[in-house]
Structure 1
Amino acid sequence: MTRPRTPRAGRPAETDERWNPALWGLLFVLAANMLIDALEVSVALVALPAIGHDLGLAPAQLQWVVSGFAVGFGALLLFGGRLVTLLGRRPVYLTALLVFAAASLVSALADSATLLVATRIVKGFCAALTAPTGLAIIASTFPQGPSRSRALSIYSLFGASGFSVGLLLSGALTETSWRLTFAFPAPLALLLFAAGLRLIPPDRPDPTTPRRYDATGALSLTAAMLLLVHATASGPVTGFDHPHTVGAFALAVLLAALFVRTERTAAHPLLNRQLLAHAPLLRSALGAGALNGSYLGLLLVTTLELQQRAGFGPWQTGLAFLPAAAPLTLTALHSGRIVTRFGPAPLITAGATAALAGYALYPRDDGVLHYTTDVLPTLLLVGAAFVLAFTAFHVQATGSVPATQQAMAGGLYQTAVQLAAALMTVLCAVLYPAGRGPVLALITAVAAAGLAVALRGLASREAADSAAHRAGP
């Protein structure tokens, strides 16, 4: 019997839509890695109190475990796309899997916050390499039409499942040791590497593509974000008027200016500036950033509250968050049809409204939380928000962008989502010692801003529909 072969780069899968075992194996490798990338945030969230207890970290320091991964992912996502273009999908993807496995083991053995956070940043960069590359491999291997749609649906289902899986795994493993939550992805990544060696098709970068990496742009953006998070977290400790804090803020601004100047003058910038004038893309980036950032801020606060005040263990905490995470998993395969039926703008508006309503219901006083009456209603509404808006944001961000720019548009969109997560995590951690009220005020304000952006998009859609109706057939 001959061994089934994966198609060569640029050669689509069988046109009769039947997949051989090699194609199923390739899709499983890509989707399973997407699941691991997606669960990296949730496994850290549930384990935060245990990490803080073992390493002696306050909430303002503890947030680095979440925000470090988000900064590594978001700030280096566009640079990751450039590396893939110049070096090839297969070598970049496989290298990222190996580095991810090594960083996972070092995370599990870390005895200091500095080393733990450094590994989280590295793992974020690995996710910035594998997440968009997985989509590119699917696009080059599965032909456009039902075959590619099915592959993308399965890939998206694994990604949507990652957060829920992470909550459960982290809850179970942290009962024994929080270090297991960071160690368990290592053998999985190695297994995927071994399978990827056999299944990921080779590809050759276009030799005519200019060899411009734009490392200056990538490093300046990453350093600016890290300094911004550092200055915000250290402000309450040293004082926001302390020279150290002021200097960190000033240096972050200078590095951000260097990034802007580099991208404006580079012959081959990481980001096409024309995309910054694309209104649907910008609305999606801002709206999704507001939804994701406010959600992670809420989970950070609720994790600390449930475990430190309400007496929940890690396993109970993971289960407690499922009403917000599981609905997206259960509806992932149908989300595309929902967007096609109603359009992105109405769904995004409905989702932003549900999230804002959920945050408004969350108790502001500092008493002990009662899960059923205080937490569950908010989680259910936020879960509904993600069901309504998650896919709609992505469709709105990339749907009207030219095909040649969709990969970069997706990178910009994901960059905004991840950097918003990093900023909201540190702000909520800084405000948390002042009480639940200030944190919830910030989360609610961000959600309200997201709704305002959504309403602007809905008004633009209605205006366009009205103009088309007046113009007639």
Structure 2
Amino acid sequence: MTFSTHTRTTTPSDGRLSPALWGLLFVLAGNMLIDALEVSVALVALPDIGTDLGLAPTQLQWVISGFAAGFGSLLLFGGRVVAILGRRPVYLTALLVFAAASLAGALAEGPELLIATRFVKGFCAALTAPTGLAIIVSAFPEGPARSRAISVYSLFGAGGFATGLLVSGFLTEIGWRWTFAFPAPVALLLFLAALRLVPADAAGRARPRRYDVAGALTLAAACLFLVLAISCGPRAGWDDPRTLGGFALAAVFALAHVRVERTSPEPLLGLDLLRHGPLVRSALGAATLNGSYLSLLLLSTLQLQQRAGLSPLQTGLAFLPASAPLVLSALFSGRMAARFGTARLIAAGAAAAPLGYLLYPGDASTQLRYATDVLPTMLLLGAAFVLAFAAFHIQATAAVPAHRQAEASGLYQTAVQLGAALAVALTAAVYACAGHRPALWLVIAIGLAGLLVALPGLRRTHRPSAPSSSTT
């Protein structure tokens, strides 16, 4: 049996998936995997990229923050594009653009093209990541089959970061450009399979009428100018007109975005969602956890490779204790939330992260011993993500009515990505200005801010009905 744009498959009543549905699932899950590993494959390669292209840390951080900014600032717009043009054509186009951007990034001879491709790939992820889950919901019948498909999809997403560490560690030993090139053939293979397997949207589906391009552009511009101003400060000076102008333009575009969304007949985001306390706490908490985590890994990558002499592969392996536990626990996150409550899990995770940062050595000149200086921090970070990250998403969507949960999920994911972009940019700026120890204290402060955001949730413990699975 084949699955095409004109046929619909069936599945046995016991939830077993037909071969065609398994094929569709692995196309979607495979794409989710390469989306999820985009940050980690770049992270381990940063020192080699900086050496080869002559980039300072404030420029180098764009490799991480550029992808996160493209993903986060255009995620809501990506959902609107998919809703208007349809899942199949947008998904297929995004796969092709992702492959082209991967190849262009691998061939980049300067920072401008490399950073531009990272932003473009972030936008592609903003189109495909949420669309993949929507295709699963529409193509797989409700019940055991859909639950199984979502579990596999979630597992691939959770495993992406850890996979990226290993792949990048291995490929960077050969050359950092391979870490950016290898997703291209993978995306092309997924595209060829998706041509046959991804179904067209059902006829008669209600579609929005407006793209809200102004809302998308103002949000993206506000984010990019803010990161640009932060990265300019250490090099040009914080009182330099370029730095001040960047901050001013970021503020202007942010205000313009709020005005556009308030007046648009079909805004990308209904601002009334910000009145839901659990949703806002989840978004801010996940943003601080993700942002502080990636910032710590940025500092650790530079320290382990440039000062401790670890190879890229050894660095990737060193980070695994922080990411592998999430893979192992991904299928059980819903049960954990149902048993212990999201507020308790979030508070415990939000406490584990800054404790791990406090244990990390603040003196970059000392000789690191992995077992005593690095491993405890990585284990605590792994615990933080196991406890809190899925609980954040469950709490965020459970806080709003069912018909607005997709919108709430988009807001949550936007906060997660933009938190990463801004935290990494700030950490790189402090590192360039003042060195390792002050940058580490900034990471600790971001982690503690996440704990402060989480604590009010304990006043009113909420145990939502956990979904079959959850992704972040």
TM-score normalised to structure 2 length: 0.95
- The 5-angstrom pairing of residues 49-128 of structure 1 reads 49-128=47-126
1-structure distance, mates of 2:288, 2:399: 22
Deviations 1:245-282 (A, max 9, x none): 11111111101111000000000000012211111111
Residue 19 of structure 1: how far off its partner (Å): 1.3
- 2:232 is aligned to 234
Deviations 1:421-463 (A, max 9, x none): 000111111111322221111111111111111111111327x
Give yes or no for the alignment of 1:180 onto 2:178: yes
Equivalent position SS for 2:15: coil
| Amino acid across the alignment from 1:294 | S
Question: Identical aligned pairs, as a percentage?
Answer: 66
| Amino acid across the alignment from 1:413 | Y
1-structure distance, mates of 2:182, 2:348: 37
1-structure distance, mates of 2:13, 2:270: 34
Counterpart among 346, 349, 356 of residue 348 in structure 1: 346
- The 5-angstrom pairing of residues 276-425 of structure 1 reads 276-368=274-366, 369-425=368-424
Question: Contact between 1:224 and 1:255, CA under 8 Å: does it hold in 2?
Answer: yes
Give yes or no for the alignment of 1:253 onto 2:282: no
Change (3 A) 1:208 1:293: closer
Question: Contact between 1:69 and 1:124, CA under 8 Å: does it hold in 2?
Answer: yes
| Amino acid across the alignment from 2:163 | V
Question: Contact between 2:15 and 2:143, CA under 8 Å: does it hold in 1?
Answer: no
The answer for unaligned runs of 5 or more in structure 1 is 466-473
Equivalent position SS for 1:311: coil
Equivalent position SS for 1:303: helix
Give yes or no for the alignment of 1:444 onto 2:444: yes
Deviations 1:400-433 (A, max 9, x none): 3222211111110000000000001111111113
Question: Contact between 1:306 and 1:312, CA under 8 Å: does it hold in 2?
Answer: yes
Change (3 A) 1:178 1:203: same
- 2:468 is aligned to none
Question: Contact between 1:94 and 1:197, CA under 8 Å: does it hold in 2?
Answer: yes
- 1:457 is aligned to 457
- Per mean C-alpha deviation after superposition, the further-off stretch among 354-363 and 286-295 is 354-363
- 1:5 is aligned to 3
Equivalent position SS for 1:138: helix
2-structure distance, mates of 1:112, 1:263: 36
2-structure distance, mates of 1:8, 1:295: 45
Give yes or no for the alignment of 1:200 onto 2:198: yes
2-structure distance, mates of 1:221, 1:437: 32
Residue 98 of structure 1: how far off its partner (Å): 0.3
Residue 210 of structure 1: how far off its partner (Å): 4.1
Question: Contact between 1:4 and 1:20, CA under 8 Å: does it hold in 2?
Answer: no
Residue 9 of structure 1: how far off its partner (Å): 9.0
Change (3 A) 1:215 1:14: farther
Question: Contact between 1:365 and 1:437, CA under 8 Å: does it hold in 2?
Answer: yes
Question: Contact between 1:12 and 1:141, CA under 8 Å: does it hold in 2?
Answer: no
Question: Contact between 2:68 and 2:420, CA under 8 Å: does it hold in 1?
Answer: yes
Equivalent position SS for 1:321: helix
- Per mean C-alpha deviation after superposition, the further-off stretch among 358-367 and 304-313 is 358-367
- Per mean C-alpha deviation after superposition, the further-off stretch among 233-242 and 69-78 is 233-242
Counterpart among 116, 133, 146 of residue 135 in structure 1: 133
Residue 205 of structure 1: how far off its partner (Å): 6.8
- Per mean C-alpha deviation after superposition, the further-off stretch among 272-281 and 151-160 is 272-281
Question: Contact between 2:42 and 2:63, CA under 8 Å: does it hold in 1?
Answer: yes
Equivalent position SS for 2:210: coil
The answer for unaligned runs of 5 or more in structure 2 is 465-472
2-structure distance, mates of 1:41, 1:425: 12
Residue 7 of structure 1: how far off its partner (Å): 8.4
Question: Contact between 1:64 and 1:426, CA under 8 Å: does it hold in 2?
Answer: yes
- Per mean C-alpha deviation after superposition, the further-off stretch among 249-258 and 296-305 is 249-258
- 2:470 is aligned to none
- The 5-angstrom pairing of residues 161-180 of structure 1 reads 161-180=159-178
Change (3 A) 1:453 1:46: same
Residue 145 of structure 1: how far off its partner (Å): 2.5
Equivalent position SS for 1:224: helix
Residue 105 of structure 1: how far off its partner (Å): 0.3
Residue 143 of structure 1: how far off its partner (Å): 2.5
- 2:430 is aligned to 431
Residue 357 of structure 1: how far off its partner (Å): 1.0
Equivalent position SS for 2:174: coil
Change (3 A) 1:9 1:331: farther
Question: Contact between 1:71 and 1:124, CA under 8 Å: does it hold in 2?
Answer: yes
Question: Contact between 1:97 and 1:190, CA under 8 Å: does it hold in 2?
Answer: yes
| Amino acid across the alignment from 2:460 | S
TM-score normalised to structure 1 length: 0.95
2-structure distance, mates of 1:223, 1:308: 34
Equivalent position SS for 1:365: coil
Alpha-carbon RMSD across the aligned residues, in angstroms, is 1.7
2-structure distance, mates of 1:457, 1:208: 37
Residue 324 of structure 1: how far off its partner (Å): 0.4
| Amino acid across the alignment from 1:255 | F
